[in-house]
Amino acid sequence: MRPIAILSVLAGLSALTSPAASAQDRPPRPPAFASPEVTAEKKVSFRIHAPKAEKVQLSSSDLPDAGRGLDMTKSDEGVWEATVGPVVPGAYRYSFNVDGLAVIDPRNPATSEANNNTFSLVYVPGSETSDAKDVPHGAVAEVVYPSQTLQRPRRMHVYTPPGYEKGEGRFPVFYLLHGATDSDASWSTIGRAGFILDNLIAAGKARPMIVVMPAGHTGPFRFGGAGGVSFETQMAQFEQDFVKDLKPYIETNYRVIADREHRAIAGLSMGGAQTLNVAFGHLDEYGAVGVFSSGVFGITGGPNGGAPDTRWEDAHKSTLDDAELKKGLRLVWFGCGKDDFLLKTSQATVEMLKRHQIDVVSRDTVGGHTWLNWRDYLVEFAPLLFQGK
């Protein structure tokens, strides 16, 4: 092919990519730059071209100095820049705040879907546990299943381990739930669940398993309640959909080992509370339970203190005290950071379960209510599953 002919085709394609402005008022071509840029020293530079803006900040819950907004500096060409780090290897969500407007990085196609919005995503390599390494990889699928509970098709993500698609073998199933600010895509984007499992399985540390990541919200959800359906109703709908629709779909359509010993459930934050509801509502079905940065919501009393809320304990009392039923419960694992605002909730739930003679592995870690911890908890929890101990 002649380069000049190819250029002609490319010029035509190029015109399609900037449909916003007509020829006469099209702004000058923005300067060439990359964003994000990760250096060998694990520093990360972020850049955005916003020549008219008065103030631009980098915003990221997990990147150093960016939790409350990090001021970016403007170049003569109108490119704002900020550099952070060196940072711990792993995945980071971020956005820019341009004069009050939350904006993802226009130069970065990688994103991570959350509850009501999408963040930009940068991966800083160097992690033994979450890098995309040269090992056999599983597949992470978007799957739409029919929900009788909600009377509509509903999406989940499903990790199948390396080799699954060849068609041989049956596998244990681990249900992994997200938090209130996230979606069913979050565990496999910012959470790196697929890569973490790939690496654990390749190292012989975890058993090959199917990981099912449901959608935790059953409808629009906003803090403050503008979503229409109450939080309590959504929690009840989630549990019913999970029990009657999602889990049966998995057990009908995937090659699973469908017994208690080969079925585990864990979740973070809101998903931890949902995990407790599902597991202790159907304890004959789950052999392992994980609660990350969470517990029974409200167990420590109201915002101004007050009496501990014993409703959950009262509602599940017969299960909590059923010695025969508890025999098959091989693992109850709690992890929470010392700076987590749900630490007391987590601790009170652990104490409550212990009062009912349930063995609980409780891991107190550093850090707060962040994905930095939840990835680590997954790395620690998954190897404990389905080991026949």
Q: Using CB under 8 A, which residues numbered 163 to 222 contact its own copies? A: 163-168, 179-181, 183, 188, 194
Return the range that interacts with its own copies (CB under 8 A); candidates 21-29, 238-246, 257-265, 329-337.
21-29
71-104 burial by CB neighbour count: b if 16+ within 10 A, else e? ebebeeeebbbbbbbebebbbbbbbbbbeeeebb
Return the range that interacts with its own copies (CB under 8 A); candidates 58-66, 257-265, 326-334, 359-367.
58-66
Binding residue for its own copies, selected from 40, 76, 204, 303, defined by CB under 8 A: 303
Tell me the DSSP string of 183-213.
-TTGGGTTT-HHHHHHHHHHTTSS---EEEE
Q: Which single residue is written with the structure tokens 């549990």?
A: 239
Q: What are the residues whose beta carbons fall under 8 Å from the beta carbon of 282, sequence distance 6 or more?
A: 243
Least gap, CB of 18 to its own copies (angstroms): 9
Least gap, CB of 235 to its own copies (angstroms): 8
Return the range that interacts with its own copies (CB under 8 A); candidates 145-153, 280-288, 354-362, 372-380.
145-153
E runs forming strands in the chain: 37-38, 44-49, 56-59, 70-71, 73-74, 79-84, 90-98, 101-103, 111-113, 118-124, 139-147, 152-160, 173-177, 210-213, 263-268, 288-292, 331-337, 361-365
Q: What are the residues whose beta carbons fall under 8 Å from the beta carbon of 66, sequence distance 6 or more?
A: 57, 58, 59, 60, 82, 84, 94
Binding residue for its own copies, selected from 38, 44, 53, 215, defined by CB under 8 A: 53
Q: Does 345 bind its own copies (CB under 8 A)?
A: yes
Give the binding-site size for its own copies (rule: CB under 8 A).
Answer: 109
Least gap, CB of 330 to its own copies (angstroms): 27
Nearer to its own copies, 248 or 301 (CB): 301
Considering only residues 352 through 381, tell me which ones interact with its own copies, judged by CB under 8 A: 369
Least gap, CB of 58 to its own copies (angstroms): 9
| Cβ atoms 272, 292 nearer than 8 A | yes
Least gap, CB of 30 to its own copies (angstroms): 9
Nearer to its own copies, 35 or 330 (CB): 35
Considering only residues 242 through 281, tell me which ones interact with its own copies, judged by CB under 8 A: 253-255, 269-270
Q: Does 342 bind its own copies (CB under 8 A)?
A: yes
156, 162, 206, 247 from 167: Cα distances, Å: 21, 11, 20, 20
Q: Does 326 bind its own copies (CB under 8 A)?
A: no
Binding residue for its own copies, selected from 42, 43, 51, 81, defined by CB under 8 A: 51
What is the spatial distance between Cα 77 and Cα 136, in angstroms, rounded to a whole number? 45
Least gap, CB of 33 to its own copies (angstroms): 10
Site track for its own copies across 103-132, x = CB under 8 A: xx-xxxxxx-xxxxxx-------------x
Q: Does 338 bind its own copies (CB under 8 A)?
A: no
Considering only residues 75 through 104, tell me which ones interact with its own copies, judged by CB under 8 A: 95, 97-104
Could you tell me whether strands 288-292 and 263-268 are parallel, antiparallel, or unpaired per DSSP bridges?
Answer: parallel
Could you tell me whether strands 263-268 and 173-177 are parallel, antiparallel, or unpaired per DSSP bridges?
Answer: parallel
The two three-digit tokens of residue 321, written as one number: 């005290």
